């Protein structure tokens, strides 16, 4: 049975917030509230072991290509937010934890439960 | 402080603490028991521009010194007489947060220089025992249009570094910056600093347009060989280069630039038979990763067999000479098919020639586990690549930290 870790009060989170909680002595889990959804991932990048959840949360960057195939610039797409590992910049889709540059790599995902006011992560 | 991110998610971030940022590296250190064998980092950096007002005081030429003190003091706007300028954003627009947060890190206000404190923090976190420290913005100084500026600043930096950094911490060494744009100054650098105990070799910045085989450098190489200290070529990128900068994305100018400059110099070094002229001078090719080496080996061997008359002083294939050169590992490409990497290791005789490097604190740094966790290496090979090969090459005395050290 999964261990329950109390993260805190749901009301303490506002959109885009995260909280990093200990998961035993030598690891942590990052818990996020993004687009009204809860997400939790191990604070461990599959690349070289960086603390991915300690990095920035950034919107996906997209190229704007016109119908005639010409490049018109870049924009942020806030529908897809990325966890960015601070060691090297690897980006992970907040929705599933997959590395956007190579989706066979991903952050380890955990389930989040909100019961009443309390937010738990199941580790 | 706040970092601007994508517009609706501007984020408040903590000030930087290197030890905290590298907590996971420290966990790797302990889990793999790095304390049981010496680890030597052959290529790491500090930001000498943060100390430039101290460095310019070491310039001999009174006119250049006055100019330096003016521009590194209050400054006069956006210009600097020293840095030829590099367009770029290694930090991926702030995603690699140690760049924008760098100045927020607090260090003790004691006698030790801030750069010593910062270096020891990441060294201890990663489990690194000794390092070879290099500058950062000065890696583009080979592009400076005034050779006398490279010569003056290099000499000032070298003196400053030995007095204020390496003299204060025996775990920090350097390969002395050689102002290659001025052959006489290059020679004088080796003369002045060559036998200093903290100078474990000499470093030529690869991003430049000078021919390494020019006769003007022969006496300098001869002196390096006589001193018995290696010569390293440290690569860099240059977005102003007409060829390897011909991209609208930093990704490309970095991926190509860091390999191509070293590739050109290495090819010229080999086909002009420098290893035959200076058989005891060892060369180290720094910060180009490893994937380029099999490419150059195969290209040179193929052409050499058809055009032997252009490289008549060679006594073997170009790849034979390249197998006797040393290479730093970072940024080590890690293909999904590790057989490719293993083949590269075999081709370059990595057991004896590969030197792990972190490049910390730069954006594409490698932690020691990039070598330690490779499944095709045994424990002895790992120890050699992470430290033993460098100890042998540089003749490092590691007895203070490893009194019973014996070569693997």
Measured between beta carbons, the chain B residues lying within 8 angstroms of A54 are: 21
CA distances from B316 to B264, B328, B352 (A): 20, 24, 20
Q: Is the pLDDT of residue B2 over 80?
A: no
For B175-202, what is each residue's pLDDT tens digit? 999 999 999 999 999 999 999 999 999 9
In whole angstroms, give the CA distance from residue B386 to residue B357: 8
Where do we find the tokens 């860091």?
Answer: B258
Residues 6+ apart with CB under 8 A from B42: B131, B132, B284, B286, B328, B355, B356, B357, B390
In whole angstroms, give the CA distance from residue A91 to residue A87: 11
Q: Is the pLDDT of residue B76 over 90?
A: no
- Looking up residue B236, the CATH number of its domain turns out to be 3.20.20.140
- Looking up residue A56, the CATH number of its domain turns out to be 2.102.10.10
Q: Is the pLDDT of residue A103 over 70?
A: yes
Query: Is position B22 within any domain?
Result: no
Query: Is position B8 within any domain?
Result: no
- Picking from A49, A51, A84, the nearest residue to B95 by CB comes out as A84
Section B357-380 average pLDDT? 98
Interchain pair A86, B6: CB under 8 A: no
B363 in A contact zone (CB under 8 Å)? yes
pLDDT value at position B10?
60
In whole angstroms, give the CA distance from residue B220 to residue B368: 34
- Picking from B97, B365, B366, the nearest residue to A55 by CB comes out as B97
Query: How many distinct structural domains can be found in chain A?
Result: 1
Query: Is position B385 within any domain?
Result: yes
Q: Of B12, B88, B37, B48, which is closest to residue B258 (Cα–Cα)?
A: B88
Query: Is position B23 within any domain?
Result: no
For A28-52, what is each residue's pLDDT tens digit? 999 999 999 999 999 999 999 999 9
State the smallest CA–CA distance between residue B141 and chain A in angstroms.
26
Element (H, E) at B393: helix B389-394
Measured between beta carbons, the chain A residues lying within 8 angstroms of B370 are: 48
Q: By the 8 A CB rule, do B18 and B122 touch?
A: yes
Which residues 1-60 of A are in CB contact (within 8 Å) with B?
16, 26, 43-44, 48-51, 54-59
Class of residue A90 by CB neighbours under 10 A (exposed 0-12, middle 13-18, buried 19+): buried
Its domain, for residue A28, covers 4-122
In whole angstroms, give the CA distance from residue B82 to residue B52: 10
The chain B residue lying nearest A27, using CA atoms, is B24
In whole angstroms, give the CA distance from residue B233 to residue B284: 6
Query: Is position B188 within any domain?
Result: yes
Q: What is the ipTM of this complex?
A: 0.96
Q: Of B59, B44, B205, B228, which is closest to residue B138 (Cα–Cα)?
A: B205
Section B110-134 average pLDDT? 97
For the entire predicted model, the pTM comes to 0.96
Query: Is position B27 within any domain?
Result: no
Q: By the 8 A CB rule, do B65 and B52 touch?
A: no
Measured between beta carbons, the chain B residues lying within 8 angstroms of A16 are: 8-9, 11
Q: How high does pLDDT run on average in chain B?
A: 95
State the smallest CA–CA distance between residue B293 and chain A in angstroms.
23
Interchain pair B9, A57: CB under 8 A: yes
Q: Is the pLDDT of residue B331 over 60?
A: yes
Question: Phi and psi for A33 in degrees, rounded to 5?
Answer: -120, 105
B302 in A contact zone (CB under 8 Å)? no
- The two counts, helices (H) then strands (E), for chain A are 0, 9
Query: How many distinct structural domains can be found in chain B?
Result: 1
Interchain pair B21, A51: CB under 8 A: yes
Interchain pair A48, B367: CB under 8 A: yes
Residue B203: band (very low, low, confident or very high) from pLDDT cuts 50, 70, 90: very high
pLDDT value at position B15?
87
In whole angstroms, give the CA distance from residue A57 to residue A59: 7
State the smallest CA–CA distance between residue A48 and chain B in angstroms.
7
Interchain pair A51, B94: CB under 8 A: no
Its domain, for residue B121, covers 35-394
pLDDT value at position B13?
75
For B3-42, what is each residue's pLDDT tens digit? 777 755 566 777 899 999 999 999 999 999 999 999 999 9
Q: What angle do CA A51, A87, B238 make, to 5 degrees?
A: 170
Measured between beta carbons, the chain B residues lying within 8 angstroms of A44 are: 24
């Amino acid at each position: 049975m999964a261990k329950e870790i109390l993260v805190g009060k749901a009301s303490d989170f506002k959109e885009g917030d995260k909280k990093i909680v200990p998961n035993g002595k030598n690891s942590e889990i990052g818990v996020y509230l993004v687009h009204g959804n809860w997400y939790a991932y191990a604070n461990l990048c599959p690349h070289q072991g960086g603390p991915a959840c300690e990095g920035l949360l950034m919107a996906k960057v997209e190229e704007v290509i016109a119908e005639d195939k010409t490049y018109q610039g870049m924009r942020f797409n806030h529908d897809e937010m990325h966890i960015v590992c601070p060691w090297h910049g690897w980006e992970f889709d907040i929705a599933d934890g997959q590395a956007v540059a190579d989706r066979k790599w991903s952050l380890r995902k955990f389930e989040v439960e909100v019961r009443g006011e309390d937010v738990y992560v199941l580790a | 402080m706040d970092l601007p991110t994508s517009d609706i998610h501007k984020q408040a971030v903590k000030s930087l603490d290197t030890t905290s940022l590298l907590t996971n590296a420290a966990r790797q250190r302990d889990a793999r028991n790095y304390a049981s064998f010496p680890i030597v980092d052959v290529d790491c950096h500090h930001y000498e521009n943060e100390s430039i007002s101290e460095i310019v005081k070491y310039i001999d030429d009174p006119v250049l010194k006055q100019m330096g003190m003016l521009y590194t003091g209050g400054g006069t706007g956006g210009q600097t007489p020293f840095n030829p300028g590099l367009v770029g954003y290694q930090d991926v627009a702030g995603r690699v947060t140690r760049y924008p947060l760098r100045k927020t890190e607090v260090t003790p206000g004691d006698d030790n220089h801030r750069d010593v404190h910062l270096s020891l923090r990441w060294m201890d976190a990663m489990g690194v025992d000794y390092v070879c420290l290099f500058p950062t913005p000065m890696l583009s100084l080979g592009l400076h249009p005034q050779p006398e500026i490279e010569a003056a600043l290099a000499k000032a930096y070298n003196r400053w570094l030995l007095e204020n950094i390496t003299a204060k911490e025996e775990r920090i060494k350097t390969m002395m910056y050689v102002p290659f744009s001025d052959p006489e100054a290059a020679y004088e650098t080796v003369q002045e600093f060559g036998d200093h105990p903290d100078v474990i070799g000499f470093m030529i910045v690869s991003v430049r347009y000078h021919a390494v085989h020019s006769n003007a450098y022969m006496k300098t190489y001869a002196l390096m060989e006589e001193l018995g200290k290696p010569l390293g070529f440290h690569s860099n990128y240059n977005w102003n280069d007409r060829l390897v900068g011909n991209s609208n994305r930093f990704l490309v100018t970095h991926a190509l630039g860091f390999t191509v400059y070293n590739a050109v110099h290495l090819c010229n070094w080999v086909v002009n038979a420098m290893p035959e002229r200076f058989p005891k001078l060892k060369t180290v090719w720094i910060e180009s990763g490893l994937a380029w080496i099999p490419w150059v080996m195969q290209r040179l061997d193929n052409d050499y067999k058809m055009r032997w008359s252009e490289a008549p002083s060679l006594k073997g294939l170009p790849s034979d000479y390249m197998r006797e050169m040393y290479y730093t590992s970072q940024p080590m490409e890690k293909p999904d098919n590790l057989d490719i990497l293993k083949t590269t290791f075999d081709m370059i005789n990595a057991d004896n020639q590969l030197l792990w490097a972190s490049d910390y604190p730069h954006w594409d740094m490698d932690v020691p586990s990039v070598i330690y966790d490779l499944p095709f290496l045994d424990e002895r090979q790992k120890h050699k690549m992470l430290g033993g090969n460098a100890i042998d090459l540089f003749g490092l005395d590691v007895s203070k930290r490893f009194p019973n050290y014996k070569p693997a």
